[in-house]
Amino acid sequence: MPLVFRPRQFDRLVATAALAALAAACASSGAVPKPFPDPGSVPPARGGRAPATAGSLDSYALVGTALALRGSPYREGGTGPAGFDCSGFTQYVFAQYGVQLPREVRDQFRLGHAVVPQQLAPGDLVFFTTTAPGASHVAIAIGGDEFIHAPTSAGVVRVERLSSSYWAPRYVGARRIWN
């Protein structure tokens, strides 16, 4: 029989899971949150509250949602749990909190304000140059030296390090769209 949580219990559970994952780097259970609103829709209010705006975003809950999607397959043009590309992943995760992101990486790179690497926080968008000059790949900072993203057609949504020998030289900037 499935467990049923009331909205406040669910919010606390998600926040606790996100903090535990960040502190202990536990392996994902493969669980994927439900329901899955389309990236263009605004999810129903949680716990009787209005959907988040970019200024009131709970970045730790957002990171928890992103971490729960680890293992989702990469799919070119994908925007949902059946398959994501990098910008489809960020767009989907932010949509769960009522924040609409543009579909293209270069358009996401124009949002919010620039963040220096020393001040990266969970929920910041992190950009890299991979297939073309300028920002051509996007991820979500999860804290410390780590980010989560949908990397390539040979991969799945996963956590990696900003300081890795592959990603560090490709880093082009970060943007914060929440306060």
**Could you tell me the domains of the chain?**
7-176 (3.90.1720.10)
Low-confidence ranges of the chain (pLDDT < 70): 1-55
pTM of the predicted protein model: 0.71
- The confidence score (pLDDT) of residue 86 equals 97
Centroid of chain to Cα 159: 11
Which residue is it, tokens 């680890």? 70
- The confidence score (pLDDT) of residue 2 equals 47
Name the CA dihedral angle for 138, 141, 142, 148, rounded to a multiple of 10 degrees. Answer: 20
| DSSP three-state, residue 133 | coil
130-158 residue pLDDT tens: 988 999 999 999 999 999 999 988 899 99
Distance CA 120, CA 35 (A): 29
Q: Which residues are catalytic?
A: 86, 137, 149
The CA-atom distances, in angstroms, between 9 and each of 3, 12, 15, 37, 74 are: 11, 5, 10, 20, 31
- The confidence score (pLDDT) of residue 55 equals 61
